[in-house]
Amino acid sequence: MNQPASSASTASQPRHFALIPAAGVGARMGAQIPKQYMPIAGKPMLRHALETFAAHARIAHTFVVVSAGDAWIDELVTPELASRATVLRVGGATRQESVFNGLNEIRHAAGDADWVLVHDAARPGLDAGLIDRLLDTLDGDEVGGLLALPVVDTLKRESAGGRSQETVPRAGLWAAQTPQMFRYALLQRALRQAAEQGRIGAITDDASAIEMLGLQPRLVEGSPRNLKVTLAQDAALAEFFLKG
């Protein structure tokens, strides 16, 4: 796969790199192949996000992190995509390990001040407009941030007996999406520190690693179409959005 030119970015003109961890097996879907390769709206799920990033003029390059034994990725990354995307076979046992390994692998290409947009392979509904919104809102931000949606449903806390124990106030609550966008050096430091402190298991997304540093990522409103495909019924909804 082609690699991006290694040229240092300046503080005033940082570049934007996409990083897609795709080493999972998608056990909850109960499929015969990893979830990210299941067909959605006529193409493998991962390909939707990959094509969106590859076609975006403001994304310098896209990196896909897969497991060493991945047997599907080479067929998915066509010659047309190969000039804008690179496969990294350094996937870890968890999403967080895959992101950290991927960051270490692209050290030659990304400068400390460059932005990294980490995106779930199982979110095929990402579009150029959402990327632009994230980039425009976070331009010059000291911390970075993520796409998210305000919680609109009434939330209940379950008791030990499977009953509703209480209603949880939803004011100020957001459901995190991806991409989550942070400076290369900051995200790498956050994940390294979490690993050194034995807290990597407490990280459920990239923003939580940044929060462990005492920083507050900015929330940027996302879209319902950017849902994560986790269960079988999610795939039908994602296909509905993708088919317009």
**Residue 180 phi, psi dihedral angles, 5° rounding:** -115, 125
The whole-number pLDDT of residue 236 equals 85
**Residue spans of the chain under pLDDT 70:** 1-12, 25-31
Tell me the average pLDDT of the chain.
91
Which DSSP state fits 205? S
The whole-number pLDDT of residue 24 equals 76
pTM > 0.75: yes
The whole-number pLDDT of residue 199 equals 83
Cα distance between residue 44 and residue 32, in whole Å: 14
Q: How many helices (H) and strands (E) does the chain have?
A: 8, 11
Instruction: Give me the sheet containing 145-150, strands edge to edge.
Output: 85-88, 61-65, 16-21, 115-118, 174-183, 145-150, 218-221
Closest CA to 119 of 54, 74, 71: 54
- Domains along the sequence of the chain with CATH: 16-242 (3.90.550.10)
